[in-house]
Amino acid sequence: MNKVRFGMIGVGNMGTSHCGWLVNNRIEGACLSAVCDIDEGRRNWAKENLPADVKIYDNYLDLLDSGEVDAVVIAVPHYLHPEMAIAALERDLHVMVEKPAGVYVNQIKEMNAAAAKKPQLVFGMMFNQRMNPLYQKVKAILEEGTIGDIRRVSWMITSWWRTQKYYDSSAWRATWAGEGGGVLVNQAPHQLDLLQWLCGMPVNMQAHLKYGSHRDITVEDDVTAYFEYANGASGTFITCTHDALGTDRLEIHGDNGKIIITDSKTVTVKKLNKPEEVLNRELDFRQMLALVKGQTGEKLYTEESFECPENWDQQHIDVLINFTGAILHGEELIAPGAEGVKAVEIANAMFLSDWLGRTVEMPVDGDLFYEKLQERVKKEQGEH
């Protein structure tokens, strides 16, 4: 194979973008061969806007069985991701899944098991933020041990402002039955993936969620979570979709310094000149104050800053380039599909903690989460 023929399952917002990148030759070694959408309007769009040789289907199984594609990108409502991925893998097709991997961990584990049975196939997740140069540099700084062992992580990401018209734009949006949740499954999966990619998986979770906060929806749009890591470090995650003046600030505090990221654009790295443990042993209260206030000949820390303006399109393109390279040349994936379960597990734990009113241990109880999710689905359907 010298060119990967892609099939696009779902031609909504993200699927349309992927189609554009492929037909405009932004992904070397790849081309768009087929698309599928159940919506006639989107199929008409495809007829009018895509090259004439791109096949158009109204059933994804017909696309998978067509022989026209070597790989598929799945960009449909979240519940369908695992089901469609499994069907593609069973037909020996390479698979790229848009975020999130699914809605609940049990279905994602089934998808991962199907992929594990076909190790010759490339299975990837569209975690485009892993291709953001800013987060790649932050990950390198952490792995180099610049700030030492992590003690606390705090991310406030309330810059996901969405108005009521956004939620009303599609019947499946912001519903338990159609989307499987709100901000945690739609807007924040990238941050949840980055949290674990940078800092590892928590071992427990306590969360408080608000449902339909300042919006006419049934799912969560306001989240405050506290979690802990195996080494004793603690973390907080705060997000919402009703803050028109939203904040995006991530702090990673280690025993030898701190990384501060603002607006996913500016990074400040503060490195202590001596580890905090040493300063704690050596300094009395007056010496500590003098050091903090700069009244001694020593400096408490050194500081450097850099900026990496976000390039949203290029991040997605780079993930597709990486995925294509993995198929053609065996390149290592930046976002292996099997890792998609991690962000979903963190979200599931947040939901379950709020629904049970207590701290939950991780790995999350997949059966219990699914049971409680179905209760929400039935209640929502009963209200309508």
Q: Chain-centre distance of CA 124, in angstroms?
A: 13
Cβ atoms of 238 and 155 within 8 Å: the answer is yes
- φ, ψ of residue 233 in degrees (nearest 5): -65, 155
Q: Where are the domains of the chain?
A: 4-128+313-337, 130-309+343-381
- Counting as low any pLDDT under 70, the low residues of the chain are 384
Give 112-166 as a DSSP string.
HHHHHT-TTS-EEEE-GGGG-HHHHHHHHHHHTTTT-SEEEEEEEE------HHH
Per CATH, the number for 4-128+313-337 is: 3.40.50.720
Structure confidence at residue 384 (pLDDT): 57
Q: What is the pLDDT of residues 47-83, one digit of tens each?
A: 999 999 999 999 999 999 999 999 999 999 999 999 9
Q: What is the pTM of this model?
A: 0.95
Per CATH, the number for 130-309+343-381 is: 3.30.360.10
Cβ atoms of 185 and 340 within 8 Å: the answer is no
Structure confidence at residue 310 (pLDDT): 75
The amino acid at 209: L
291: its two tokens:
């050091």
CA–CA distance, 57 with 35 (Å, rounded to integer): 6
Q: What is the pLDDT of residues 134-157, one digit of tens each?
A: 999 999 999 999 999 999 999 999
Picking from 252, 274, 277, 273, the residue whose alpha carbon sits closest to that of residue 262 is 252
Residue in the structure block whose two tokens are 């999350």: 364
Q: What is the pLDDT of residues 191-241, one digit of tens each?
A: 999 999 999 999 999 999 999 999 999 999 999 999 999 999 999 999 999
Return the percentage of the chain with pLDDT > 90, whole number.
Answer: 96
Structure confidence at residue 243 (pLDDT): 98
Which 3 state secondary structure label does DSSP give 217? coil
Structure confidence at residue 312 (pLDDT): 83
Picking from 59, 58, 57, 84, the residue whose alpha carbon sits closest to that of residue 73 is 84
